[in-house]
Amino acid sequence: MLKASFKKHIFKFNFPGGTSRGVLLEKVSYFLKIWNSEISEIVGLGEVSLIPNLSPETSEQIELLLNEFIQNPNDFVTTKELKNFPALKFGLETALLDLETGAKKILFPSEFTKGKVGIRINGLVWMGTKDEMLQRIKEKIESGFTCIKIKIGAVSFHDEIELLKFIRKSFSVSDIEIRVDANGAFAPAEALSKLEILSKLQLHSIEQPIKQGQWMEMKRLCANTPLPIALDEELIGIADTDKRIQLLETIKPQYIILKPSLIGGLKDSEEWSKLAIKRNIAWWVTSALEGNIGLNAIAQWTFANGSKMPQGLGTGQVFSNNITSPLEIKGEELYYNPQINWQNI
């Protein structure tokens, strides 16, 4: 017989997290505990992570569902349809998996969880003023990152081009791989011309140049772009296999980006990856501002699934009150240090 509880945690940003959808100062997660009534000392732990204005669910919806869940976990797990609640689905999936594997937070044992091999990640540069972003770019490069991801769309396009030119003046494409993330900031009518300007700077790719849901416009961009396009927000809310296939075969993107908390969890991420590979579409994984509980599950799954591209798994550093964990960044790699204990929750 399963038992369960949950705890709300409000993460505080070390600095304002600027995106094209606004500035984040804090975000909420719910830590979900599951145990068997006969073995109460073994407790599976998962994280339900929400991003304001991006996650399909609201905090109010999640709290109602979590209160329903803890009343009767067994019925909830076996009967509740959660396809419209991807963050809850991810948190529940990983908590159950943690319980099944002994509640040691080692969901996918590997050379990564032994601390022997790291996962190469990109250095994330948040939006800010031109001077702030320039300083952040310098810091990431000095820290050893050879793949930089820059969020664009909040300052003027001219200033963003100047920032990118600064990197290219000092570092060739063989030295630094640059990815940019527009978070849907471009209007469809101007998107192709902006992509042409960006392509001259020898970038790796651009994430979500226009807002999600405009399939025909995105199809046109992917067919004509001089710069590879990665679908990000476009995957959110596409819960049925047939519709996922339809999206990939209609738009034909160069890449897709998997964010388990936003697309339904690890099994759904695996389905997306297989559908993409079958259609010669490459993929990588990015965390969606989970704390270290959620990030740990995503990182272990990512390593187990063998993607060799730099991953977007460095967001554990953005919070001042994250959960102490074995996850640590050395240079441009994320490691799991078995010598570090998890913080009690």
Q: Per the structure block, which two tokens stand in for 122?
A: 């990109």
> Judging by DSSP bridges, how do beta strands 22-36 and 39-49 pair with one another?
antiparallel
> Judging by DSSP bridges, how do beta strands 147-151 and 123-125 pair with one another?
parallel
| Domains of the chain and any CATH numbers | 2-100 (3.30.390.10), 119-336 (3.20.20.120)
**Which pLDDT belongs to residue 25?**
86
CB 224 within 8 A of CB 254: no
- What's the length of the chain? 345
For residue 143, give the 3-state DSSP assignment: coil
Of the candidates 4, 59, 74, the residue with the CA atom closest to the CA atom of residue 27: 59
Confidence of residue 296 (pLDDT cuts 50, 70, 90): very high
Element of type H or E holding 31: strand 22-36
Q: Select the highest-mean-pLDDT range: 147-156, 253-262, 306-315.
A: 253-262
pLDDT average, residue stretch 41-53: 94
Of the candidates 136, 97, 101, the residue with the CA atom closest to the CA atom of residue 14: 136
Catalytic residue among 33, 149, 194, 259: 259
Confidence of residue 19 (pLDDT cuts 50, 70, 90): low
pLDDT digits (tens, 9 = 90+) for 112-142: 999 999 999 999 887 777 788 788 888 898 9
pLDDT average, residue stretch 93-114: 97
Cα→Cα distances 184→21, 150, 197, 218, Å: 9, 14, 17, 11
DSSP 240: S
pLDDT digits (tens, 9 = 90+) for 177-235: 999 999 899 999 999 999 999 999 999 999 999 999 999 999 999 999 999 999 999 99
Where do the H-state alpha helices sit in 225-333? 241-251, 260-263, 266-278, 292-304
Determine the Cα–Cα distance for residues 250 and 141; give it in Å rounded to an integer: 37
* Among the ranges given (14-18, 257-261, 278-282), the one the predictor scored with the smallest mean pLDDT: 14-18
Catalytic residue among 27, 89, 105, 151: 151
The answer to whether residue 59 scores a pLDDT higher than 80 is yes
pLDDT digits (tens, 9 = 90+) for 236-249: 999 999 999 999 99
Per the annotation, the verdict on 151 as an active-site residue is yes
**Which pLDDT belongs to residue 21?**
62
**Which pLDDT belongs to residue 18?**
63
Q: Per the structure block, which two tokens stand in for 313?
A: 């798994």
Please tell me the chain's helix, strand, coil percentages from 3-state DSSP, rounded to the nearest 5: 40, 25, 35
Cα→Cα distances 24→3, 12, 137, 318, Å: 34, 9, 20, 11
DSSP result, 50-111:
--TTTSSS-HHHHHHHHHHHHH-HHHHHHH---TT-HHHHHHHHHHHHHHHTTSSS-SS-ST
pLDDT digits (tens, 9 = 90+) for 159-170: 889 889 988 888
